[in-house]
Amino acid sequence: MYFHAQTWINEIADGEPDPAAANALQEGLGGQFGEMRTMMQYLFQAMNFRGAAAKPYRDLIQGVGTEEISHVELIGTTISRLLDGSPSTPASSPTRSTPRARAARRR
């Protein structure tokens, strides 16, 4: 069972939209060594500790996995706030100048 507190470990300050920073954080959230992977590993490994003798270890590993859930939430919310107020598509961003974006603007 998990308990969800509606308070932040660290307050996330609102500021200007920063899609580049949000993009950089996405790797930390769901990349090869990201928080999502780590969370799933701990929660899955906790399920593998079976029996009464393994309960202390299961509780420990599950506690770490639960903490990782809060990291996923924190990074996900940070990404969301970094994107608040930014253009909805990369092609509509004035700083985006890729061949595909230029071709889309010409249409």
Does 4 belong to an annotated binding site? no
Does 71 belong to an annotated binding site? yes
Does 14 belong to an annotated binding site? no
DSSP string, 32-100: TTSHHHHHHHHHHHHHT--SSTTHHHHHHHHHHHHHHHHHHHHHHHHHHHHHTTS-SSGGG-TT---HH
Instruction: Name every residue whose Cβ is closer than 8 Å to that of residue 86 and which is 6 or more positions away in sequence.
Output: 17, 18, 19, 22, 93
Does 35 belong to an annotated binding site? yes
Using N-to-C axis directions, what is the helix angle for 55-83 and 19-30, rounded to 10°? 160
Binding residue numbers:
35, 59, 68, 71
Binding residue numbers for Mn(2+):
35, 68, 71
Binding residue numbers for Ca(2+):
59
